[in-house]
Amino acid sequence: MPSPHSLNSRAKKASFDAKIKTPQERRRAPGKERQTREGRTTEREKGKKMERVRRQEANKGLGGKKEKDGERQTERDRLGRTDREGQTERDRQSKTDRERQKRETDRERQTERETETERDRQRETDRERQTERDRQRETDREGQTERDRQRETDREGQTGRDRQRGTDRERQTERDRQRGTDREGQTGRDRQRGTDREGQTERDRQRRSRE
């Protein structure tokens, strides 16, 4: 014996199969009365149609209320439009403020960029001056080195000249010594001559005495 659940499922499936629409019925515009395959209106469709009729009838008796509602809606629309216009004005003002803020920000950035560029230019100028000063110092050092080298050469030349003078002085001393020796020899010879003259004089005197 099948379970009640399976019977229930079959009943639901049969009801679903009864509601299947043909392709032509599925293509009909919404709002048209849908019918089953047999052409009968379903209970659900009937209920919807009756609800529409009741709503239409109810609306017919509410003409004045609808008019007031319409006026209220118009007022609300007017207020909404005013609010929208105010919002538009605020948006425009905000846009103007944003544009002004953007211009000011751009101007500040441009000024900062120009200031930074000027600082970079100044740094470059300072670096070039520093390089020139370094080059000048290098030239001065080279000149100083050359002067030191020249002084060293001059000192060596002076030393050579001093050495030569020392040699010359030694030679002069030697010559002076030789002259002294020569003078001493001459003195000895002069003394000998004096002695010889004295002896000759003595002999001459002796000779004269004998005569």
Query: pLDDT 10s per residue in the chain (211 long)?
Result: 445 555 566 666 655 555 655 555 555 545 544 544 445 556 677 777 788 887 777 766 655 555 566 667 777 777 777 777 777 888 888 888 889 999 999 999 999 999 999 999 999 999 999 999 999 999 999 999 999 999 999 999 899 898 899 898 989 999 998 888 888 888 888 888 888 888 888 888 888 887 7
Q: What is the spatial distance between Cα 62 and Cα 139, in angstroms, rounded to a whole number?
A: 110
Integer CA distances (angstroms), 134 to 119, 120, 143, in order:
22, 21, 14
| pLDDT at site 21 | 57
| pLDDT at site 102 | 92
Q: What is the spatial distance between Cα 185 and Cα 203, in angstroms, rounded to a whole number?
A: 26
Three-class SS string for 140-185? Answer: HHHHHHHHHHHHHHHHHHHHHHHHHHHHHHHHHHHHHHHHHHHHHH
The reported pTM is 0.29
Contact yes or no for 52/33 (Cβ under 8 A): no
The encoded tokens of residue 25 equal 């019925």
